[in-house]
Structure 1
């Protein structure tokens, strides 16, 4: 081989090597630890979650479930589409077909037998491991069936693909819902790590015409574990968990707020989901430290039939949603989105007042208002007060062991018990705790016998508050998530009474009710209900 040919070969080799290095670097940039479930910096501008919307009556999307361990040991989780969109907002219309090709890309962990009934098998009866997961579509009246919204036994193993396919019910109220993992025993870690996203069922502008011309914003609030150095901080007002807004972190102790940019003095529809695993939020908008009026048009995905309610504070327990109109600040006006302090009881989490975001008015390009072609006009849910319940059931929240800072200690066990049944942790393999009929409504009295708050949530259905501590209340809201306050001193046991709507024909099957402080749910505060087909001739009218 001549010197010239050797030189040419070396040049070719160098070019090939350089190309390989560039490709490797690009791949590393996409999949390296610093890019998996990437998070913004403190103080960053809050961006809208990416949107994946249905077209021609269908939405098909691939969600890859990924994780990465941070240097301090905390684990981040996220859902990523084929296009690289993280935790997208899914926008669908009533009647649409939603198909999700789900891929669990978590690392394999050893099987865990920390909860009763985890050893399963079959398509929707997977084996429980720390890396197993699933999806729950919070607040939606989807069938509790395999490949739809079955969240008890569906466990998707690492490396496994699973297909969800469901039709959004034609009568599904238009509004804000959300999706998140629901593997019993491990929900807290995955949700706190960031695994959640919004779902918007289109049509709220069709039933509330005054919202048609308003630009809208979607905000997903999450909570996160503290780092070891934060845990060691002796500050008595230390929170149990950090917060983030659309993944922009707001970290103790500096609490550098996120930044929301907005056109000045503009009415906007804000769609806000508290997807925190454990944190209760008292939302306020302050302009020059003065609370502003927020016009609430929908709660837990259900528009308010009698029009908006003006509030200066919005209470959002974990899992709940609020859709409200705000008027953005004027240029130069000091404005913040904050959460007020919440007292969850002596054994509850620490939830101090803290800022969430600075709202900065600035001259911006006018936002294009989203217009949904041929938006279906959904029927607004009627009040449940005029319906006759077929029975009244009584349940109670209880726990043993001592709570520690940050809520439940390792020794604390939590229970949600039907009166007359034995007190025990949730067992996935046990028969249902409650059997009811489709086509009926029931009244449930929920008592809290513990020194900390609990959040009642039931899958598939909504309910309406009737009484607090035996006193009737005038509450028009139809919800799927509600606070059951802690017991105070030697006062009578705190309780609420709700009317639950089991009339939807698509809910036949077995699903769960539980405390939506996920630390409590993971430690046993959950039960199962089976809905049987309706009996002929049943009538729930008064």
Structure 2
């Protein structure tokens, strides 16, 4: 079982103040969970993944007024499944439910990033461990509206749309419609100064951290599985990475896991969030465009980077992100990767990074790391 702590501040106060003269802002904390009868440490891969529930209920119903906006705080506490959200109009033209992302992983978006996501119901993947705050606006017509999702373990999970499972249902009452707009960019909570972009000139060191799943078939038995980081299983009481306090670093998170299973490992680090500056998914059709000379070549590792437009500044802060799986081909494998920047401020000590798929973490895909002080207690002169 899992729950959620909600830490409130100026971000929450600003949103509530905006909606106070409009009837107030109803808030929902929605914890996605996945409960099965097996630990799956030795369960066959063919076993179906257990269904998802929200706050312990399968396919709950949320009551809303026509045109009402509510703040939904999703927490994906599932131990294996990601939740791929996509525009409800893609499977039901009458479902005009709208949403706007306002925070990821407990960290508010900047007003600029909020405005960029305000163009439509932008699809997004909520990997295990991810959180998201959404302002959700109900349709103006009374009725029942399903929100469907794709059960995703990859950043390119196919979407069946119409037949994908229902996550929850919105019941829009027959009450009079309410006028509740989304905040404008100017009305959105201001970004605290400590969340400003990390200056690349301040990068103290760069690292590469590689995640890999290796399966060895065993006749008439479950496969033997190694889940490694940098080729090693978790070593208790052994420090795998050391970072200097009050410095910034750039990490390239690499995923060499190829189909099958083609898993997008959700990288999670404790204590210190990071900014995502680049995502490369070699299985994304847009990255394989034969008419784009900037797209990668399978046999040329120097080209293994995204040919899509670069992510715009200010960059989004996260503490969990799915690293796209490798693309397996006859000519060789092309790994996926994510580049992040982070500052190791305030808190020295030991903590962990790991894949947020529970069975991968338990199989060894975790590292003990530490932040060490950059000052000494004794004066030498």
Report the TM-score, using the length of structure 1 for normalisation: 0.51
Structure 2 counterparts to residues 260-339 of structure 1, below 5 A: 260-284=62-86, 286=88, 289-290=92-93, 292-307=97-112, 308=114, 309-310=117-118, 311-339=121-149
Deviations 1:129-175 (A, max 9, x none): xxxxxxxxxxxxxxxxxxxxxxxxxxxxxxxxxxxxxxxxxxxxxxx
DSSP-derived class of the 2:334 partner: coil
Deviations 1:361-410 (A, max 9, x none): 126899xxxxxxxxxx9835112255621010111012322489xxxx56
Structure 1 Cα separation of the partners of residues 364 and 198 of structure 2: 30
TM-fit CA distance, 1:294: 1.3
Pick closer, same or farther for the CA change 1:429–1:454 going to 2, 3 Å. Answer: same
Structure 2 Cα separation of the partners of residues 403 and 210 of structure 1: 57
Q: Which residue of 2 aligns with 1:205?
A: 12
Structure 2 Cα separation of the partners of residues 274 and 486 of structure 1: 20
Structure 1 Cα separation of the partners of residues 11 and 206 of structure 2: 33
DSSP-derived class of the 2:67 partner: coil
Pick closer, same or farther for the CA change 1:403–1:532 going to 2, 3 Å. Answer: farther
Query: Which residue, out of 342, 355, 366, partners 2:152?
Result: 342
Matched, 1:218 2:29: yes
TM-fit CA distance, 1:239: 4.3
Pick closer, same or farther for the CA change 1:314–1:333 going to 2, 3 Å. Answer: farther
- Tell me if the contact between 1:461 and 1:500 (Cα under 8 Å) persists in the aligned partners: yes
Please tell me the root mean square deviation across aligned C-alpha atoms, in Å.
3.3
Q: Which has the higher contact order (CA 8 A, sep 6+)?
A: 2
Query: Which residue, out of 267, 273, 288, partners 1:462?
Result: 273
Q: Which residue of 2 aligns with 1:474?
A: 312
Residue correspondences, number: 304
DSSP-derived class of the 2:6 partner: strand
DSSP-derived class of the 2:63 partner: strand
Q: Which residue of 1 aligns with 2:379?
A: none
- Tell me if the contact between 1:305 and 1:382 (Cα under 8 Å) persists in the aligned partners: no
Structure 2 Cα separation of the partners of residues 436 and 343 of structure 1: 30
Q: Which residue of 2 aligns with 1:397?
A: 211
Structure 2 Cα separation of the partners of residues 241 and 523 of structure 1: 20
Deviations 1:431-477 (A, max 9, x none): x1111111011011111111222010000011011223434433621
Query: Which stretch shows the higher mean deviation, 258-267 or 216-225?
Result: 258-267
Larger radius of gyration between Structure 1 and Structure 2: 1
Structure 2 counterparts to residues 134-173 of structure 1, below 5 A: none
Pick closer, same or farther for the CA change 1:343–1:520 going to 2, 3 Å. Answer: closer
Report the TM-score, using the length of structure 2 for normalisation: 0.71
TM-fit CA distance, 1:329: 2.6
DSSP-derived class of the 2:13 partner: helix
Structure 2 Cα separation of the partners of residues 259 and 390 of structure 1: 49
Matched, 1:492 2:334: yes
Q: Which residue of 2 aligns with 1:521?
A: 361
Query: Which residue, out of 164, 167, 171, partners 1:360?
Result: 171
